[in-house]
Amino acid sequence: MGNRAMIATSVSSASSMALGRYAILRTRDLDEATSRVSCVLSPHELSIARQGDHLDAEMCHAPLGGVSINRLRYGATVDIDVGRTKDFVLVMMPLAGMAEIHCGDVSVRSTQKVASVVSPTLPLRMRSREDADQIMVRVDRALIERQCAQHLGHDLRAPIEFDVAMDLTAPGGQSWRALIQYLVAELDREVNVFSSPLTRVHAEHLVAATLLLAQPHRYRDELARPGPSIAPAFVRRVEEYVACHADEPLTVTDLAAHAGVSTSTLFAGFRE
């Protein structure tokens, strides 16, 4: 077996064990699968799409504050009608197999190279194939919108709607995949850093910020522009605040809010 085949086998074996410690569902019952998945994600309609298929559903769920990392497979070809998720963004990344995603007016064949990003304002229908086994990252809409507005330094003029297809071989997609791979690997450790609220709050903010910068949406170009210089007085104010609250799980968003500026402006002030 060549090196490339050995690497592929290793990755496949590791993927088959991903998030196994967080299993919350194993069932062949359609109603039970629908009910349990709805509790974690969103109410939906679930049906077997192909005659002769038999459900064998498994789900793992690892919460990280306003973010959760989930793994879901059905073991049968199923049709899922969600409507709108309303209060969260969902990023689906197949470890194996394929899913056909219909979000708003866009259709995507989601594979190991193409993830799908579902915005809360757009209707979702999908067909998950028998061999589909997916990592699903749920990010609270409020967290995404708060992070975006704070980085911009102004309220959002319209909802954030991400492009549906995420190319996991492009630079932004590679960054996103690398982050999720790290989170899954750390969560799979019996003793991991996310047992502390200090790290969980940073993890959820990192996930939201990475998605905002990695995947196209109407505010991404504005987010990427450097902010104006901050007054030295604000930098000193933040430094004093950090010194007085060194034992608390502070985030960049907290510090920017204390300074009364956007996070990009705060970064510029400290850089200069």
What whole-number percentage of the chain has pLDDT above 90? Answer: 69
Count the Cβ atoms, other than its own, within 10 Å of residue 272.
9
DSSP structure string for the chain? --HHHHHHHHHHHHHHHTTGGGEEEEES-HHHHHHHHHHHS---EEEE-STT----EEEEEEEETTEEEEEEE-SS-EEEEEE---SEEEEEEEEES-EEEEETTEEEEE-SSEEEEE-TTS-EEEEE-TT-EEEEEEEEHHHHHHHHHHHHTS--SS-----SEEETTSHHHHHHHHHHHHHHHHHTSSS-GGGSHHHHHHHHHHHHHHHHHHS--TTHHHHHSPPPPPPHHHHHHHHHHHHHTTTS---HHHHHHHHTS-HHHHHHHHH-
| Candidate from 53-62, 115-124, 146-155, 172-181 with smallest mean pLDDT | 146-155
CA–CA separation, 19 and 44 (whole Å): 23
Is residue 184 within 8 A of residue 178, CB to CB? The reply is no
> What Rg value do the Cα atoms of the chain yield, rounded?
20
Question: What is the per-residue pLDDT for 228?
Answer: 56
- Summarize the confidence of residues 44-63 as an average pLDDT: 95
152-210: pLDDT as tens digits: 888 999 999 999 999 999 999 999 999 999 999 999 999 999 988 888 889 999 999 99
- Summarize the confidence of residues 211-229 as an average pLDDT: 87
Question: What is the per-residue pLDDT for 159?
Answer: 96
Query: For residue 42, is pLDDT > 70?
Result: yes
Question: What is the per-residue pLDDT for 235?
Answer: 73
- Summarize the confidence of residues 105-127 as an average pLDDT: 97
Sign of the torsion angle spanned by Cα atoms 183, 114, 106, 103 = negative
Question: What is the per-residue pLDDT for 15?
Answer: 42
Query: For residue 8, is pLDDT > 50?
Result: no
Query: For residue 89, is pLDDT > 80?
Result: yes
- Summarize the confidence of residues 207-231 as an average pLDDT: 85
What's the pTM? Answer: 0.80
Question: What is the per-residue pLDDT for 196?
Answer: 87
The pLDDT-based confidence of 271 (bands split at 50, 70, 90) is low
Place of tokens 């394929």: 98
